[in-house]
Each structure stands twice: as structure tokens, then as C-alpha cells.
Structure 1
Amino acid sequence: MKNFKKIVALLISITLLAAGCGSQKSSSEEEKETTKKAENKKITKEESAQAKLDVVNPAAYNNAEGLKLEKGTYISIIGKASTGEYWSEVKKGVEKATDDINENLGYTGKDKVKITFNAPADADDVDQQVNLLDEELAREPAALAISIADEQSCKVQFDMAADNEIPIVAYDCGSDYQGLMATVSTDNTKSAKEAADKLAEAMSSKGKVLILAHDSKSMAAKERVAGFKAELKKKYPKMSVANVYYMDNIEKLQKNVAAEINTGTYARSTDGDARLRTGDEKINPTDITEDDIIDYYLQKHPDVCGCFATNATAVKTIVSGMDRTKKDNVMVVGYDADKEEIDMLKKGKVDGLVVQNPYAMGYASVIAAARSALSMGNESVVDTGYTWITKSNLNDNEVKKMLYNE
């Protein structure tokens, strides 16, 4: 009987001990789960907006403190496009800076500082942007900020602005015009060099690269192409640039591709089926589409292993071309992060992206323009930062904060 009681007591002790261990394990699992949830918590729009502003350098451009603008002051902000996720972010930044200025000054109603965002209906329409610039200067704003589509196109207007004491700030895309009060932008050279390093890593530091540039006129595109090429030349002797395609040179390229088709040195194809001219019929240059031009480059350079694209349009253009020509072994890196690009990243069609900070560009351009209107002085360059994203870090909180909001 005594032995039976001892056995029962021992079993109870073991049960309690096991229960205690089970409780401890459960607590540990709960702690891990709590930590995981905290790391992957949903980022609010306010947190994301503040994170974007926090990386602006100098920090004086991430807030509206000390800007004692007069009641009813008018400032004009001009972009390169009125639609698209990137420019939507710029506009949000402009609006937030406007709200902050008026709140700090206590202005309401008609007393409010007025800051408008205008841009061409068609992206990078240089003529329309110049017309907008003329219209805005005629309104005699206290200051004006502009993302310059063609760095050579606005010099007459800038001289006119200087004559009328209207300070000009550049953002997103600048120019070499000496009278600019400040340039608010991504460090295009630095980010392009990082893109070159990342692509080289993916390509094992060897092979040919195709560069797809969104234009040949903007300073941003020029800096990115030059920075990328310089980094390859400096650090990767087994890598080379097969060709650079500038997307605004379409008329010249149409003629080149049509000539090769007509002389039989190139066969245009779709889905692997050759489409040659029949008989003596000639292909007109105007029959050549941009898709044909991209396919031409990809097929004329079958040994290309990587591609560098300088903006969202260029990224999507080259990926579409690779889909058409069945090239699934070409590494792609580029710029920006709209929904379509993020989807391409998730599917493995894009290997990495430089995510710029258009929200902060919009905000900081307003601050720089306001400082110019008040003759407070400006830094010559305001760096709005960038983030490198891949499929593997896409869900990291620090990365999610820098992505575009809906």
C-alpha cells in the first residue's frame, strides 16, 4: 500500500513537471510569435510618410519650421507627368509640405500659402512642360520648383525668372544651369553604381549588359547611364556594355531596324516565328514599333546576360521584350517601384530595384522653394535617399516604409 502511494505521488510529480515544461514551451512560442508579429506589423501611412522624410539630407528640408511666408504667398511646383504612381507620390509630398507650412503659420482660408502641382498630361512632354513653365512664370510666383524633362529646354525661361527675381529650384531631374537655388533629388550616380554592383554579383562578375535608358535628354538618365558604365569599367573587367538604347531616339532606330530587315541582315520575329518581308515589298520605318526595336536589340545580342533599366517604363519595356523573345536567363535591375514592377520582382522577372523617394522630393522641393522665396539660402544639393529592394527583403519593415503608398 505504501509502495502504491509512492508510485501515485511520483506519477503526479512527473505530470506536474511535464505540465510545467509544456507551459514553458508554450510561453517561448508565444514570445516568438509576438516578436514575429511586431516585426511584420502593418505599416501605417503616417509611419511610412515620416520614414521617407527622415532620410532627407540635410534634415532642414524634412520639416516646415521657421518658414515665415507672408499670407497668400504663391509657389509653383512643376512635374514631368500628371499621372502614375511616382508622380502621385510627389504630389502627396507637395500637399503635405503645404499643409505643414500653413499649420505652423496658423493660416486659414484666404490667408493660406498656396502651392500648386502641375505637369504635362503626357509623361516627359518637353514642349508642354515649357508651356506650363511660361504660364506659371506669368503668374509671378514667389518661387518655382521644376523636374526638368530636358536639361537644355528651359534656359530662356530661367533667365527670364532671374530677371524677375523668381527663384528656381530643380527636383528629381536637374540641369547645369548656374542660377538654380537648389537641386532636390536621388543621388543618381551613387545609386547607379550600386545597381551595377548588384547586377555584377548576380552575373558572377562576367558577361554582357544591355542598358535601356528612358531618355537621352534628362540629367537623371544621363547620370544613371554614366554612373553604371563607370562602375562596370572600374571594377568588372569581364563585363561589358553591349549597347545603350535611348527610348526617345525611336525615329532613328526605326530607320535602322527597317533598313536591316529590308537588306536581309535581320529577321523580325514574334514568338519565334520569322516574319520577313515578302517579295520586293519594303518595310517602312513607321511600321517598326518600339516592341520591334526592343526585340531587335535582344536578338542582335543573344549573349546578353543582364540589363540595366533607368526608370519604371524602361524596366517594364525590357521585361516585356524578354517575355516576347523567350529570354528567361537575363538578369534585370532598374529603378522605381510601382505595382507592376513589384509584381515582376515577386515573380522573379526583375532581380533588384532602386526605390527612389518621390514623396520626400515633393516635400523637400516645397521647402527649398519657400527658403528661396524668403532668401534664407539653400544647400546646392538635397539628397532624398533611395532603398535597394529584392524579392528577399520586400517584406522587411524598413523596406516597406519606403515603398509607394496607394
Structure 2
Amino acid sequence: MPRIQSFQGLVSFLTILFGSLIAVLVGCSPGEDVTTGSSVATAESADAKRFIILTNVADPFWDSCEVGAREAAKELNLDAQGYRVQFEQNSEGTITSQIRKLQQWAGASDVAGVALSVLEPQNPALLDAIQLLRDNDIPVVTIDSDIDRENPAFRKARYGYIGTDNVEAGKELGKALAAIDPDGGKYAVFVGSTVQANAVQRHDGVAMGLGDGYEEADFLSDDTDKSKARQNVRDALDRTADIDVLVGLWAYNMPAIADVVTEQGIREQVTIGGFDASPLALEEMKNGNIDVLVVQNPYRMGYLATKALYALTEDEPELLAEIFPNHDEPDGDIVGSGLKLVVPSKESPVTADILKDSTEFLTYDEFRAWLDKYGLTSS
């Protein structure tokens, strides 16, 4: 009977192997599980309910947001309570992708809450997708970029917004740029989407901060295509040879601007400033190619969003009140996450006294020290 025993042994081995493969596949989860710090959920956490953070586009800007979410998950001891946080970057960078994900999660029994950075604030299909989540008792907060607050239906669909006051941030940047180049002139603005809420608000704020002495030459969208981002800078410089100031509103726009200015050898002719401290932007500032950066705090966005979703799901009014202390008052559904303005050195013409008291003024070295303190490479 040795041949039969061998066959039975083979069947047994294949059965075990197949069962193991199925277990691995079932245990895997897309996205980054920031509770465990792994891209694959542990067997213990596979049955846990998810708090999902969905970005507008994929970018290193979100790395520190993920760190903040992980810290909040640790403080709340989510693992022990049957929850985990999943960080989901919208790698396609489209509103269709965002909406599709939200619709899928509305029908998922293991989704407990969603934090969303909105790509198109006035998109009616997005409103329907958010409302579908709410209809399934899944709370929603927005971070970094909000819905259309002027539309009551949009505003009511999410519980609140955690992030930068983008108009005020734009003003701070505009004031700093005007301090560097006080003679006025022409400026061009570059961003991924000219219709996204944070882009519109930053754009308007920059114009206010620069003042009447400046005239806008271009406001160009690149649809998050980094090659197009660089080409937009070239096109703007070709169209308007006497541009004085170049402004980037999204994280990758700053290194794109610096790259083209270096390529064309016109650094002495232009002032360069914009949003977010990506690793590349920081390197460009270190090398003397960026004059000012307005830096948000995505770490705090992830941290507060995780706590807010937990408080809403577990009906923890005291914790929720710590995050949204004035929620029932006008604009109480908006919570600031903090703002920093970074210049290369103390020799910069920008000084703290021209900024709001709430804006933290730092040199490049001081900001680097802050990043190192929290183990971050960008913000």
C-alpha cells in the first residue's frame, strides 16, 4: 500500500497548503493599517472595525498625518477595543476614485468612521457618497480640504473639518512674499486643481496678503501631474517674462518651481514661496532656491481625526468636546490644526511681527529640529 499512502500524504499536504494560502488572502487588507504599523492586518486585528483616513491625492505630505493617526490609535488603545486605523492614499488622484471608495465603505460592515480630504468640494456625487455613509451610521469628518461650506447640505453631511484655515494661511504667505519683494509686480500661482477648496482659498488669501501692488499673471492647474507642474512654470515664464513671484499651493509645486527656475538660471529675478515642507522642498530651501514655506500640521490632522471618529462612534461627548469645543456655534465645526511659516535664516526680510500671533515663525534650522523631535521628514 505504499503508493496509496504516498498519494494520501500528497493530498494532505496540498490541503494544508491551500488552506494556508486562503488564510493569508483573507487576512490581508488593502491600505496601511496604522494601528499595527503594517500594510497587512494581523490575524487578531483582521476582524476589527476600521477608521479610514482617505487622502485627496498621494503625496509625502500625508506621511506625518499617518504618524499622527498612529499616535492617537496608541493613546486610545484601539487594538484592545476592537478598532484599527487604515490610511488610504487616493493614488489615482481623481474624484471618481474618492467617490467609489466611499460608496464601497458605506456597504462594509467593518467600517466605523471615515476622515476625508475632499478633492472637489461642490461635487454632488461626493455629497451623495458622504450621505450614504451617514445613512449607514458611519460618521464622517473632513481634513486638510473641506466640502463647500456655503451649501448647507454639504456642510451638514460631515460632522466637522480639521485642518488649516486656508484663506488665513494664504494671507500669511502673501504678506511674507510682499516683505521679500516689496516693490510689487506680477505673480503666477501653481496648483494641482484650481477648483479644490483649499486651492481656491489659498489662492484668494495669497492675493489678499500680497496687496494691491501685485497683479496675477497666471493661475494654472496640473491635475497632480508632476511633469505638467514643471511645464506650467515654463509656460507662465514664457508668457510673462517679467514675473516677480512664483507661488506653489500644493506640496509638489514648490520643488517643481525651484527646478525650473534653476534650469533657466533666473533665481535672482524671482521670489519663490508656497505651501508645505516636503523633503524636496526643504532640500531646495537649504540650497537657497525657496524663500518661504507655509507649513501645515498634517500630524495633528491625523491625530485629531482619529480621536474624533472614535468619539463619534463610541458616543464619547467629553472627548468630542475637547476636539470641537464650540461645535454648535457658528463655524464651531471648523478646528484649526496649526500653522508654521519657515524662512531660510534670520537674514530673511520676513519677520514674525508681520504675521498673526498664532502663526509660528521658524528658520530652516529651527524647523528641522522640530521635525527631528517627532521623527518626521516632512510636514
**TM-score w.r.t. length of structure 2:** 0.70
The question of whether the paired residues in 1 share the 8 Å contact of 2:254 and 2:274 is answered with yes
Q: Does 1:386 align with 2:339?
A: yes
Larger radius of gyration: 1
Alpha-carbon shift at residue 72 of structure 1 (Å): 4.7
Encode CA deviations 1:359-392: one digit per residue, 9 max, x unaligned: 1111111112122223435431111101111111
Match of 1:42 in 2: none
The question of whether the paired residues in 2 share the 8 Å contact of 1:357 and 1:402 is answered with no
Q: Does 1:112 align with 2:82?
A: yes
Alpha-carbon shift at residue 249 of structure 1 (Å): 9.9
Alpha-carbon shift at residue 308 of structure 1 (Å): 1.5
Alpha-carbon shift at residue 291 of structure 1 (Å): 4.2
Aligned equivalent of 1:333, options 248, 266, 273: 273
How far apart, CA to CA, are the structure 2 residues paired with 1:218 and 1:182? 17
Q: Does 1:159 align with 2:99?
A: no
Match of 1:225 in 2: 203
Alpha-carbon shift at residue 239 of structure 1 (Å): 1.8
Q: Does 1:184 align with 2:162?
A: yes
Q: Tell me, which stretches of 5 or more residues in structure 1 are unaligned?
A: 1-70, 251-287
SS class of match (1:364): helix
How far apart, CA to CA, are the structure 2 residues paired with 1:373 and 1:220? 27
Q: Percent identity?
A: 20
Aligned equivalent of 1:78, options 39, 54, 57: 54
Residue type of the partner of 1:405? L
Alignment of 1:255-274 (within 5 A): none
Deviates more, 1:297-306 or 1:314-323: 314-323
The question of whether the paired residues in 1 share the 8 Å contact of 2:105 and 2:133 is answered with no
Encode CA deviations 1:216-270: one digit per residue, 9 max, x unaligned: 23211111001111333xxx332221221122399xxxxxxxxxxxxxxxxxxxx
Q: Does 1:136 align with 2:112?
A: no
How far apart, CA to CA, are the structure 2 residues paired with 1:389 and 1:292? 26
How far apart, CA to CA, are the structure 2 residues paired with 1:237 and 1:118? 42
Flag the 1:389–1:171 CA change in 2: closer, same or farther, 3 A: same
Match of 2:70 in 1: 95
Residue type of the partner of 1:87? W
Aligned equivalent of 2:212, options 233, 237, 248: 237
Match of 2:350 in 1: none
Alpha-carbon shift at residue 134 of structure 1 (Å): 1.8
**TM-score w.r.t. length of structure 1:** 0.66
Aligned equivalent of 2:120, options 128, 132, 150: 150
Encode CA deviations 1:302-337: one digit per residue, 9 max, x unaligned: 111111210221112222222233322210110111
SS class of match (1:401): helix
Encode CA deviations 1:93-144: one digit per residue, 9 max, x unaligned: 11111111117xxx63xx432221112224x232222222222222142321
SS class of match (2:365): coil
Residue type of the partner of 2:221? Y
Q: Does 1:126 align with 2:126?
A: no
RCO greater where, 1 or 2, for CA within 8 Å and sep 6 or more? Answer: 1
- How many residues align? The count is 288
Residue type of the partner of 2:242? D
Alignment of 1:218-367 (within 5 A): 218-232=196-210, 236-248=211-223, 291-328=230-267, 329-367=269-307
Residue type of the partner of 1:204? P
Flag the 1:317–1:133 CA change in 2: closer, same or farther, 3 A: same
Q: Does 1:368 align with 2:346?
A: no
How far apart, CA to CA, are the structure 2 residues paired with 1:100 and 1:292? 45
The question of whether the paired residues in 1 share the 8 Å contact of 2:57 and 2:91 is answered with yes
Deviates more, 1:323-332 or 1:355-364: 323-332
Match of 1:405 in 2: 376
The question of whether the paired residues in 2 share the 8 Å contact of 1:187 and 1:383 is answered with yes
